[in-house]
Structure formats: C-alpha cells, structure tokens
Amino acid sequence: MNAHPLWSHVEHAKDRFEALSDRVWGTPETCYMESASVAAHIEELQFQGFEVHESLTGIPTAVMGQAGGCGPVIAFLGEYDALAGLSQKADIARKEPLEPGANGHGCGHNLLGSASLLAATALKRWLAETGTPGTVRYYGCPAEEGGAGKAFMVRAGAFDDVDVALTWHPGDIAGIVKGSSLANLRVEFTFEGRAAHAADAPHLGRSALDAVELMSVGINYMREHIPDTARIHSAILDGGGISPNVVQAHARVCYVVRADTTADMLSLFERVAKVAEGAAMMSETKVTSDVICGVSNLIYNHTLGDMMQRNLDRLGPPPFSQEDVAYGALFQATLGEDDIRQSYLAKGIVETERKALADFNIPASIPAMPFGGSTDVADVSWVVPTVQMWGATHAIGTQLHSWQAVAQGKGKPALKGMVHAATVMAATAADVLMQPDMLARAKEDLARQVGPEGYKSPLPQDVAPPIAGMARP
C-alpha cells in the first residue's frame, strides 16, 4: 500500500521526540505543577520554529505553539502530568520504586505530549513543503489527572478559533476512541464542629469526623439508587487530627461524582450535597462545599473517526520486533488473567491467542465501547470536532495507573507505539486539510450532537484552576 505523504516527516523527526518523552518521564510532576515538563516542551517548540505562547489562559504550565497563519486551524492536544505515589524504575518487571512515595508516569503522559508535538511538527513541515493552506497548533495541557486543565482552557476561550482537534492516549491495543467518557465533578466538603475532651466532656463536643463518616454511610446507601454507570468515589483529606481523645472539630473529605452526561452528573451531585447536609444535621456540625474541578462527557465525531480509522488501517500496527515482544512478555507475566481479559473486553474484541504486544489494530467493525473513566478532552470535544485514538505502547493487559505502566514508559515498544500514534494523527490532520468537504461534515456532525443549546461548562464561573497544585494536606 502506498505511503501517506506525512509518514516520512514523522519518521525523520522522531528521534528528538523520543528523547523528549524520556526526559519528561524522568521529571514526573503532578496536577498544575508540571514546570520542568512544560519547559521541556517549550524548548522543543522553539527548536522546531513554532511561535510560542506561554502561560496560556493564565495557567503557568499550559502552552500553545503555532505555525502558519492561514487556512483551517488544526490542533494537537498534548499532556505531560504524572501521578502521585507511582515512582518506579524503568524496564524492570517487578515493583521497585526509584524513590518511595514519589511521582511516576503511570498513565503514559510523557508519551502523550511527545507524540502530539511530533505530529504537529510533521504537519508543520508538510505545510511548508507543499504550500498547503493551514495553521497547526500544539496545545500543552496540564492537569488532566484530577485537575481538568482543558475544561478551564475551554471556558477561557483557548479553542474558540480551532477547526479540528486531534489527540491520543497510550494503551495496549491501537484503535479509535469511539465511546463516551463519564462527566465528573470533584468537590470538597468541609465539616466544622466543636472540640472537647473525649473522655472528660464528650457531651460538649460535636465531631466533624463523625459527620464525614455519616456522609459515607449515606452515600453507600444512595449507591443502591443511582444509575449503573454512575460512580461516586471519596478520600478523606483531613480527619481532624491524630489524637483520639480530642473530639475532632474540623474534617474535610473529597468526593468525585461521575455520570454518563454532564446534566446527569450535576443532578447526582445535588443528591450527594443533600447527604452532606444530612450528615451535618445528625452530627450538629456545619458543612461547606467547594467545587475543585469538573469535566464533561466525551462527544465522538464520526466523520473524523472514520478518517482516522482509514489511516490506522493503512499504516497497520506498530512494527514490534521479536525483542520487543520478549520485553512485553516480561511485564505481561506480572499481570493477572483478569487484567488481560478486561483489556480485550473493554475494547469489544475476543482474545484468540495469547500475545504480549498487539500486532493488530482494533477493527473498524467494533462498535463504540464506553469507558468508565473521565477526561478533559471531552470539554474540547463539545466546542471543536475532536478525534482521538488509543496507542499500542504497553504489554496487553497493562492497567494504567500502575507500576507496570510506569516501568514500560521508556521501553522500545512504548516509543514505537508513540511514533505510530503520531503518524496516524499527522496523516489524519493532512487529510482534513486536503478534503474541505470532510471538514464541513465534521463540523455538521458536532453541531448535530451538541444541539442548539451548545456547550455548558460543568464548572461554576467562580471556580478557578487550582494552579497552586492539588497536593494539599
């Protein structure tokens, strides 16, 4: 099959972006704290000749690079935030942290941002070579993990003039993301009570910790009466101190509320808030709530998805070698059968023989498969025709947010899968520019799904990005 004209541009540029991925892997930073990671991306944007806009929408770790000044605006979305507590040595198939308790790239965002910037660079070079009208942008987006960076950027208008957005996510089998994600809201509830000596005068105390526990009980009973696909998670941020003989006067708990659509999620949140109020009444404490961040549900653009699928089929799977397969097998051996089975089930395909790495792509015939997670790419998808793909970067069965994912993040299979994803994205972007009728159809597709009411941010207007970082006590 004839090569796409963009393939060679990706291949010629890939070495610097493989190095960029490894560099970001080595400086794992979490939610709005990605200073070294964004600096590495800014340095590469400048080297590649992009016009760089730092601290985009007032977020210090957001950046946008642009090239070209006419024609449709094509955006590649990148990420580079890591996860707390997932430190792990590279290429070692056993749990062995580099630094106990430190951060690690357990979701592969070191690969994600690097591939998106590689695709943007390849498209930039192709535009210059061919004289094709078009503007290419790379958006470095912080805090996808629990910080909703793109949702704040959308609300601030960062994507208002973008015509098409493309992105991807590391995974274990390459394919188009067709299913929706869950809308979510992250909210902190703070309970204030009254301190007292727990033995001498317990009747004078009003326990904020009791309120947190009562809220948990109420939510657990409520779970019986919510939609099957909805999710409610919690974490106690402040239990009121370490002295059991002091009635806890202050306690704070964080809840994440998820549902199929933004409207359903906000309705479910109202019920969660009522449980918090009930817990406060029962414990005779006071409760306040603070929305930290939130994201919408994902809209799949069928027109762009079909275009990307054709490029994926044309390219085939990543060119894994026998050495790569042996590497993947080492990590797959650390996984359970349920891990591997779930990987296939989540993508709607059947395992016919045990394979360590995916030497196949998800076929176009597989229907949309919803996934239980959330992503701030969803908010972009409400205002810009958006398409994304899964990459094949890890051994089949590798669960994201695990030490195995971190350990494989610098391996040759991960880098090959990263370049593979960049190749598909760059080729799809070029096709959009060469087929104006498809761009018009993609916009019509989005307008039909969004409807006349358009996008409504899940974020209250008075909620700002928590740019001081999410790692609060």
- Say if strands 63-67 and 135-141 run parallel, antiparallel, or are unpaired: antiparallel
User: At 121, is the secondary structure helix, strand, or coil?
Assistant: helix
Fold of 183-294: Alpha-Beta Plaits (3.30.70)
In the chain, what are the domain boundaries? 7-180+298-450, 183-294
Query: The pTM is what?
Result: 0.95
Backbone torsion region of residue 49, taken as left when φ is above 0, otherwise alpha when ψ lies between -120 and 50, otherwise beta: left
Among 34, 80, 118, 91, CA closest to 418: 118
Q: Which 3 state secondary structure label does DSSP give 105? A: coil
| CB contact burial 111-131 (16+ within 10 A = b; e otherwise) | bbbbbbbbbbbbbbbbbeeee
Q: Which of 78, 94, 102, 95 lies closest to 30 in space, CA to CA?
A: 102
Q: What is the pLDDT of residue 470?
A: 53
Query: Average pLDDT for consecutive 10-residue bins of the chain (473 residues)?
Result: 89 97 98 97 98 97 95 97 97 97 97 98 97 97 95 97 98 96 96 97 97 98 96 97 96 97 96 98 98 96 98 97 98 96 92 95 91 92 98 97 98 98 98 96 97 92 79 39
- What is the pLDDT, as a whole number, of residue 472? 39
* 7-180+298-450 and 183-294 share one fold: no
Say which residue the tokens 């275009």 belong to.
307
**Owner of token pair 């597989």:** 366
The strand ranges marked E within 142-211 are 164-169, 175-176, 183-192
pLDDT at 471: 45
What pLDDT does residue 468 have? 65
E strand or H helix at 290 = strand 286-295
**Which residue has 């790495």 as its token pair?**
357
State which fold the 7-180+298-450 domain adopts: Aminopeptidase (3.40.630)
pLDDT for 342 = 92
How far is 78 from 114, CA to CA, in rounded Å? 7
The per-residue DSSP string of 46-75 comes to HHTT-EEEESGGG-TT-EEEEE--SS-EEE
Q: How far apart are CA 212 and CA 234, in angstroms?
A: 10
